[in-house]
Chains A and B, each alone.
Chain A
């Protein structure tokens, strides 16, 4: 079809025609683009924060449900029952021991008693952590040389105290040479030696683990957010708590 001459004239001139804007500018365009991108990002941000709040509140709910029980159990072990029997129970736990070793163990326990309190805040954790092993892996370490284990124990303790993640804890028994029963007894002895402080710590005990569980949960939520962990990992903590509580009950 032959093109109309009027059409040709206009299209020839106007297709390439340009106009000068009075207010439209790249700066205005950029502002619009920035605004649009912010709007796009907001829902994602809200989604994550809402998820985090939800998970945290669930975590605290469980934390409140379990921690009082746990601290009560810890108290029951620590305070009334093993009173003054701490030193005697240590040799009992180690069956293949010579008298010499028993003496050394006792000495070590005594040394522990004499030690001044240096790390108040971490003590509740120690009780928990070593208690955890006492129940989870009670027999594995018994065969090991008590001499070596006893010497290493004081140095290892701070390390144990720092380990709050259950996953890490599970890897520990291989590294640790402490007899679990000893660890518990030593710690019991430590706490018992200072009755006044022990009660002071009780207040901390009831508070601290809850705080740390909250922190751990937060770390996990972050891990999940970064894609390093899955939701299932949250359940681990709860299971550990449950096993801790039930094992305690069985022991008593």
Chain B
């Protein structure tokens, strides 16, 4: 017997959650928790810890959902909470922002991903292999879309540090991708 589940819009779900409706909370959780877990895992290498952060962040989403204005996307609002929660955990571990000499910063502009055969899982693993400082800044800038000023204040670093960390992260990623593309066929994922 098929169960008829009424199709609730995002707006309905948010409204339901604001009233503490368990069913709506469940739907929100089921709809987004995998995506939000992936966000956590980009910041935290330990998967168990990442899941703990996810739960804490979702808890915050539900308890503070009344603060969601309704303007802008709900997913974006939720993502900010998750990122914030993850950053708090990252900062507890004391991120070491490896010093980057200006000479070391190579130009990654020449990188052409056109012919790359990659998938999300591979890029995800690649990202996780970066040192915490590089990874955190790259995550915030390239994927979450914060600017250097925001990142600097979020992480308690200077804008210059944020910029150099980003450049170094890009360089490392481009190197790895190029290596994979040119010779090391083992790492190519079909």
Contacts and interface: CB of A to CB of B under 8 A. Distances in A.
Contact of A29 (B47, B55, B119, B120): B55
B108 interface: yes
A13 B123 contact: yes
Given A4-B170, A10-B143, A29 B113 contact: no
Nearest to A24: B51
Given A10-B127, A14-B127, A26 B48 contact: no
Contacts of B15: none
A14 B51 contact: no
Size band of the interface chain B makes with A: 35 or more
Contacts, number: 105
Contacts of A219: none
Majority-rule SS of A interface residues: helix
A195 to B, nearest CB: 66
B111 interface: yes
Interface string A10-48: 110111111111111010111011001100000000000
A24 B35 contact: no
A225 B59 CA distance: 32
B63 A9 contact: no
B74 to A, nearest CB: 15
B123 A9 contact: yes
B59 A36 contact: yes
Size band of the interface chain A makes with B: 20 to 34
A82 B14 CA distance: 77
A19 B120 contact: no
A22 B51 contact: yes
Contacts of B108: 4-6
A18 B34 contact: yes
B123 A10 contact: yes
B11 interface: no
A19 B26 contact: no
B81 interface: no
Interface in B38-93: 38, 41-42, 47-48, 50-51, 54-55, 58-59, 62-63
Contacts of A11: 142-143, 145
Nearest to A3: B142
A21 B29 CA distance: 12
Interface string B19-37: 0101001100110011101
Interface in B97-132: 108-109, 111-113, 116, 118-120, 123-124, 127
A133 B4 CA distance: 68
A173 B138 CA distance: 85
A33 to B, nearest CB: 6
A16 B62 CA distance: 22
A33 B59 contact: yes
Contacts of B120: 13-14, 16-17
A4 B34 CA distance: 27
A28 B55 contact: yes
Interface of B: 20, 22, 25-26, 29-30, 33-35, 37-38, 41-42, 47-48, 50-51, 54-55, 58-59, 62-63, 108-109, 111-113, 116, 118-120, 123-124, 127, 138, 141-143, 145, 170, 173-174, 177
Interface of A: 4-11, 13-24, 26, 28-30, 32-33, 36-37
9 contacts: A7-B141, A14-B120, A17-B35, A19-B34, A26-B29, A29-B25, A29-B33, A29-B58, A29-B59
